[in-house]
A and B are shown apart, each in its own frame.
Chain A
């Protein structure tokens, strides 16, 4: 089955700096890669996703890049703000498998004011 590894497990940045979180996946048939943000005590919420037919997607200060050859994808947050502090999870889903997402272990991002 699919295996998703996420790094780093914790990340601290100064407000205004950029943050990058990286994930690798094992199944080359995976074709959908969402990122979820989970604030303390709250439910995970989708912030951005990318499909395997594109290499990059942006939404304001958030961007995701995908390298299918290397089987890795990354989340980039620019101009970080304190409200970006949360746990971020990457995930992957294999083509033909609608059943579930395989999640990474999460990254605790702390933006220091």
Chain B
């Protein structure tokens, strides 16, 4: 079946512009996660959605970052007034939901470059 998909695969933008990154999770997965991976670095948690519960936004680095998940499926990560330090690969993952060890399946990521 289809895995997690993300779009666009690459995004180049100018400093100060807003960008929207999209994630389509695996069908039936109630949990959705956004991570940021800077060059040569690990995975930094940004935000987590579980079903209809309020999202866990504790990883968002600033108020320029926001995310929503419509209809419990597709999610959009928005970065306003982008800065050069926002350049990174943004990874989305989904899982079946709250359980002891539910595997997270990652999308291919969106490579964001802020000039």
Contacts and interface: CB of A to CB of B under 8 A. Distances in A.
B43 interface: yes
A6 B43 CA distance: 13
A29 B102 CA distance: 17
Contact of A46 (B31, B48, B103, B109): B103
Nearest to A91: B43
A105 B41 contact: yes
Given A32-B101, A46-B103, A104 B50 contact: no
Interface of A: 6, 31-32, 34, 36, 42-46, 49, 51, 89, 93, 98-106
Interface residues of B, number: 27
The 3 closest A-B pairs by CB, nearest first: A98-B98, A43-B106, A99-B48
A43 B45 CA distance: 15
A32 B97 CA distance: 14
A98 B50 CA distance: 9
B104 A99 contact: no
Interface in B30-74: 31, 33, 35, 41-45, 48, 50, 56, 58-59
B107 interface: yes
Contacts, number: 58
Given A43-B91, A44-B106, A100-B59, A31 B100 contact: yes
A42 B108 contact: yes
Interface in B12-45: 31, 33, 35, 41-45
A25 to B, nearest CB: 14
B42 A105 contact: yes
Contact of A99 (B35, B50, B105): B50
A34 B101 contact: yes
A106 B100 contact: no
B48 A100 contact: yes
A22 to B, nearest CB: 15
